Amino acid sequence: MNAEPDQIVHEKGSRTMLIGLILTSVVLAGFAQITLKTGVNHVTGASGELHISAGSLRSLLSSPIVWGGLVLFGLSAVVWLFALSRASLSFAYPFAALSYVLILVFSVLVLHENGPTAPLARGRLHRHRDRARGPDAAHVSGNGAAR
């Protein structure tokens, strides 16, 4: 196919609007995942696990936090559909990969999770923060205490 790069995006709107729609959908999906995880953590409490039972399903369905996450996913899907109406899937879908990065960062910063990739994410975030603060920042933790 000899399509020019500008033909990937239909003439139904500007490229900036399109990328804004795509990124909005991706960010909403990331927030949805974090909200759902927070809701599940709230529902499971100390046990930490959901069991396949009517009681667990009832607990999930009665959680406003879980419903909030589902609403965010719904909004993300609606925005995604608007983006797909303006672009080819081959253009839009690679942006969806950003959701993996956002969820990793959110899970470390918001949920304080320590999964296998958390040290990598945390280390890169701290190095970036330290560079922004200046050369002496590498010797001081986030709360001002010496490391």
Q: How many domains does the chain have?
A: 1
Q: Residue 11 is part of which domain span?
A: 5-96
Q: Locate tokens 């009681």: which residue?
A: 55
Q: What is the DSSP string of 22-80?
A: HHHHHHHHHHHHHHHHHHHHHHHTTT----SSHHHHHHHHT-HHHHHHHHHHHHHHHHH
Task: Tell whether 70 is covered by a domain.
Answer: yes
Task: Tell whether 130 is covered by a domain.
Answer: no
**pLDDT tens for each residue of 51-109:** 788 888 888 899 999 999 999 999 999 999 999 999 999 999 999 889 888 888 888 88
Does pTM top 0.75 for this prediction? no
Helix, strand, coil percentages in the chain from 3-state DSSP, rounded to 5? 70, 5, 25
**pLDDT tens for each residue of 21-66:** 999 999 999 999 999 999 998 888 766 777 788 888 888 899 999 9
**Residue 12: DSSP 8-state:** S
